Amino acid sequence: MGDYTRGPWTIAVSEEYEASWFEVRGSADGDGWATVVADLIALDADARLIAAAPDLLEAAKLAEQQLIRLGFDGSASGLTAAIAKAEGQP
């Protein structure tokens, strides 16, 4: 998987449309510009979930490592599958 826009990601109300659409932005670069990760998100709950994605991926990786280290390999299979999906692996 290629690099994704690093977090933290934040939620903003899109300024390009008259309706209340949300967009999720990545961290600002050195010039102060923030990458729009996703836009035209209708529901605030969806925007919050998308914005949490980098944190959730890192937490899943840590939990997976701990489960495997403690010998609960079978219990980690759901995390392993979710991590693979997030990283674009089959």
Domain identity same for 82 and 47: no
Domain identity same for 11 and 41: yes
Domain identity same for 68 and 35: no
Separation between Cα atoms, residue 88 and residue 47, nearest integer Å: 21
For residue 49 the two structure tokens come to 């979930």
pLDDT tens by residue, 71-89: 987 888 889 999 999 888 8
pLDDT tens by residue, 15-67: 666 667 788 887 766 665 667 777 777 777 888 888 898 899 999 999 999 99
Number of domains in the chain: 2
For residue 12 the two structure tokens come to 């903003």
Domain identity same for 9 and 28: yes
Separation between Cα atoms, residue 18 and residue 37, nearest integer Å: 20
Contact 57, 4 (CB under 8 A): no
Domain identity same for 45 and 60: no
Closest Cα to residue 56, out of 8, 2, 15, 16?
Answer: 8
Domain identity same for 57 and 71: yes
| pTM attached to this predicted model | 0.74
Domain identity same for 17 and 57: no
Domain identity same for 27 and 58: no
